[in-house]
Amino acid sequence: MTNATAVVPEGVELTDGFHLLMDALEMNGITNIYGLLGIPVTEIGRMWQARGNKFYSFRNEQNAGYAASVAGYLTKKPGVCVTVSAPGFLNGLTALANATTNCFPMILISGSSEREIVDLQQGDYEEMDQLNIARPHCKASFRINRPEDIGVAVVRAVRTALSGRPGGVYLDIPARLFSTVMSAEEGKKSLWVPVDPAPAQIPAPSAVQRAAELIKNAKKPLILLGKGAAYAQCDADIKALVEETGIPFTPMSMAKGLVSDTHPQCGAAARSMVLQESDVVVLIGARLNWLLSHGKGKTWGNPKKFVQIDIQANEIDSNVQIHAPLVGDVQSCVNALRDALKGMNKPTEWMNAVAERAAGSRAKLATKLSTATPVMNYHNSLGAIRDVLKNYPDITLVNEGANALDNARMVIDQYLPRKRVDTGTWGVMGIGMGSAAAAAVETGKPVVAICGDSAFGFSAMEYETLTRYNLPVTVIVMNNGGIYRGDEASPEHQFSCMLFNPNTRYDQLSIALGGEGVRVNTPEELAKALEDSIKSGKTTIIDAIIDPAAGVESGRIGNLNIVSTIGKK
Ligand code: FYN
Ligand code: ADP
Ligand code: MG
């Protein structure tokens, strides 16, 4: 590749766009990059590795992007994904949009084609106006045109991704910039590290008082924890709020384990009851979106008042009236509330009623989990997994699918914060392998991914990435042979659009891609295979044969399914 003409006197030490970008990322504490290389970014991977950093090279940019976003969620530092132009960028953009929707900090860096050709639509190699296409799908979309601006662009990207509500940022780098040179000394001066990129945002004292009054006067208060609360990494403060107030809590999916699912105040197993009967609900880093039926309707039963802790002011009143908004960062808000609530009367009677209901549900579920069936179903297979995972609380559980997702969420307890990564706000299938890679890399601990066979298929080739990096990931494919169920009748001369080839061997796929593979038919075999795999630390697929008739359409969100009633026999 040729270097652009240097406008520096001869004899002066030079740097270029590649080096400055790497210097800037390193200065900002980035050590892992996730991506997929090719024109014009290939050199980034080689140079990043040569500097002793880690470049995780994927098979599809979407999965590299999911990995970066999960790295962002787990570490509270922006996860970085690098892609080539147009198609590579678009694949990565899905993950960037997903990161933004989930409030995960991420930076997507894509090479792009030459501006003067793209802007005149003259048909450059991989021509696309990436800057503008990215704009509506992330918090900010920046282009760097001069090497001396790389430093400021990276700082701006980091600050934008991390501050306020976290999310995605797109950095567009036209190919030529990478090799454009400038004086190394001037280049060095153009870099800096942002001071306090995610500043605390302190709630107004009057807002704290308003919220505290509402909570103190509640008869049946409830704390609802979301993944924003898990992201905030103030686990001890949140646990203290729960314990000091004696209020029952229930976690959203990825907030499971923020306070242990086995904590005596956990109302997860009494979910319908607490949502319906509570009178004051304290939302902490959770949005009243579709996952919470928008705060209204029969899910919510009794009329109630909401306290909402969120860093994003216009999240308040997004769906229903919020009586006590508490705008600020979770940690500052939670600690301000703790001060204001000191000595409050604990709602003991209500807490006991919730605990009783939860204990009843757990006992009922326990029976289902231990009931043998001729072919494994979701309950007894997940029961076996749960019994193994109990002994490994610091494993990260990645979970995707419909029935595989909803049942695993219900059955598998989480004991520690941020140990569950799933399909998130969009309910995306295909997050599995990218998330598993990032979780293994960023935590340095084993990962177990429970995937429906359909969900796994979205990123199955990425399993090779896991084996290539020797990551201690066990993928359990819940193989029921189809989407939702595996027993749909096929119309004449056609294979049902809801079914997969029943001869698919996911265990053999693993072996073909350099991993370990085992097929299991019973909960006992499953438990043994999982235990062995975790102990071995080897990348493994467990092909778990599930009764094709065991699933239900759309899992537990069947209420969102639309079916035609016209012309059905
Ligand atoms: C929960 N429950 C339990 C336990 N934990 N019972 C016994 N023991 C334990 N440990 C009970 C709980 O009280 C509920 O029963 C039920 O199990 C389900 O609980 P869950 O999973 O918390 O809640 P629910 O109602 O299924 O759904 C809430 C949700 C969640 C919408 C926030 O489902 C979710 O995150 N869904 C994402 C779905 C998705 O994205 N799918 C991907 C697309 S699939 P009751 O109290 O009796 O209600 C494409 O088709
Ligand atoms: P869940 O799906 O678990 O309900 P959501 O993703 O819907 O969670 O909500 C997360 C919320 O948390 C978002 O509204 C986001 O603005 C908020 N949030 C994220 N980080 C923080 C933080 N550090 N402080 C306060 N709010 C935060
Ligand atoms: Mg399936």
Span 296-310, pLDDT tens digits? 999 999 899 999 999
Rounded CA-CA distance 11/59 in Å is 42
The domain boundary residue, chosen from 355, 389, 416:
355
Q: What is the pLDDT of residue 233?
A: 98
CA distance 341 to 245: 7
Nearest residue (by CA) to ligand 1, atom 21, is 410
CA atoms within 13 A on the CB side of 501: 5
Cis amide leading into 40 (omega within 30)? yes
- Sequence-distant (6+) residues with CB within 8 A of 90 are 128, 133
d(CA 373, CA 38): 50
Amino acid at 458: F
As beta bridge partners, residue 448 has 397, 474
pLDDT recorded at residue 9: 82
Tell me the C-alpha distance between 469 and 284, whole Å. 37
Dihedral sign, Cα of residue 84, residue 444, residue 477, residue 266: negative
Tell me if 504 is assigned to some domain.
Answer: yes
Q: 432 lies in a domain?
A: yes
Residue 163 inside a domain? The answer is yes
Q: Quick one: pLDDT at residue 8?
A: 77
455 CA → ligand 1 middle, Å: 18
Residue 379 lies in a domain: yes
- For residue 285, what are the domain limits? 205-355
Residue 322: inside a domain: yes
Q: How far is CA 423 from CA 31, 99, 510, in A?
A: 26, 11, 23
Q: Clarify whether residues 252 and 333 are in a common domain.
A: yes
The total number of structural domains in the chain stands at 3
Same domain? For 60 and 116 the reply is yes
Domain identity same for 246 and 107: no
Q: Token pair for residue 536? A: 């071995």
Could you list the pLDDT tens digit for every one of the 569 residues in the chain?
Answer: 445 555 678 899 999 999 999 999 999 999 999 999 999 999 999 999 999 999 999 999 999 999 999 999 999 999 999 999 999 999 999 999 999 999 999 999 999 999 999 999 999 999 999 999 999 999 999 999 999 999 999 999 999 999 999 999 999 999 999 999 999 999 999 999 999 999 999 999 999 999 999 999 999 999 999 999 999 999 999 999 999 999 999 999 999 999 999 999 999 999 999 999 999 999 999 999 999 999 999 999 989 999 999 999 999 999 999 999 999 999 999 999 999 999 999 999 999 999 999 999 999 999 999 999 999 999 999 999 999 999 999 999 999 999 999 999 999 999 999 999 999 999 999 999 999 999 999 999 999 999 999 999 999 999 999 999 999 999 999 999 999 999 999 999 999 999 999 999 999 999 999 999 999 999 999 999 999 999 999 999 999 999 999 999 999 999 999 999 898 76
Length of the chain: 569
Which pLDDT score is estimated for 2?
A: 45
Task: Indicate which ligand has the atom closest to the C-alpha of 76.
Answer: 2
Q: What is the pLDDT of residue 1?
A: 42
Mutate-to-test residue for ligand 2 from 76, 101, 103, highest number of ligand atoms within 8 A of CB: 103
Closest ligand 1 atom, residue 364 Cα: 7
- Is there a single domain that holds both residue 339 and residue 402? no
Question: How remote is the CA of residue 330 from the centroid of ligand 2, in Å?
Answer: 9
| Main-chain dihedrals φ then ψ at residue 487, nearest 5 degrees | -120, 20
Q: What pLDDT shows up at residue 7?
A: 65
Instruction: Give, as residue ranges, everything with CB less than 5 Å from ion ligand 3.
Output: 452-454, 480
Q: Which atom of ligand 2 is nearest to the CA of 254?
A: 3
Q: Are residues 265 and 328 in the same domain?
A: yes
CA-nearest residue for atom 41, ligand 1, is: 427
Residues 473, 534 within the same domain: yes
Is residue 427 within 8 Å of 374, Cβ to Cβ? no
Whether residues 485 and 544 fall in one domain: yes
Instruction: Count CB neighbours of 521 within 10 A.
Output: 13
Pocket test for ligand 1, best of 271, 405, 415, 559 (most atoms within 8 A of CB): 271
Nearest ligand, measured from the Cα of 551? 3
Residue 402 in domain? yes
Say whether both 398 and 462 belong to one domain: yes
User: Helix 378-389 vs helix 348-369: angle between axes, to the nearest 10 degrees?
Assistant: 110
Same domain assignment for residues 154 and 219: no
Q: Which of 293, 321, 355 is the last residue of a domain?
A: 355
DSSP state of 499: B
C-alpha distances in angstroms, 156 versus 142, 168, 198?
9, 12, 12
Cβ neighbors of 483 (< 8 A, separation 6 or more) are 402, 454, 498, 499
Ligand 1 pocket, residue 361 CB under 6 Å: yes
Shared domain check, 386 and 335: no
| CATH number for position 53 | 3.40.50.970
Atom of ligand 2 nearest to the CA of 102: 6
Q: Which atom of ligand 1 is nearest to the CA of 557?
A: 38
Residue nearest to atom 24 of ligand 1 (CA): 556
Ligand showing the shortest atom-to-Cα distance for residue 316: 2
| Ligand 2 neighbours (beta carbon < 6 A) | 102-103, 165-166, 226-228, 231-232, 252, 254-255, 285-287, 289, 291, 310-312, 315, 329-330, 425
134 with 167, same domain: the answer is yes
Closest CA to 533 of 469, 472, 444: 472
CATH number at 249 reads 3.40.50.1220
Q: What is the pLDDT of residues 428-472, one digit of tens each?
A: 999 999 999 999 999 999 999 999 999 999 999 999 999 999 999
Could you say which of 322, 355, 388 is where a domain stops?
355
Residue 566 lies in a domain: no
Do residues 465 and 449 make contact, with C-beta atoms less than 8 angstroms apart? no
Q: Is residue 474 part of a domain?
A: yes
- 165 and 77, same domain (yes or no): yes
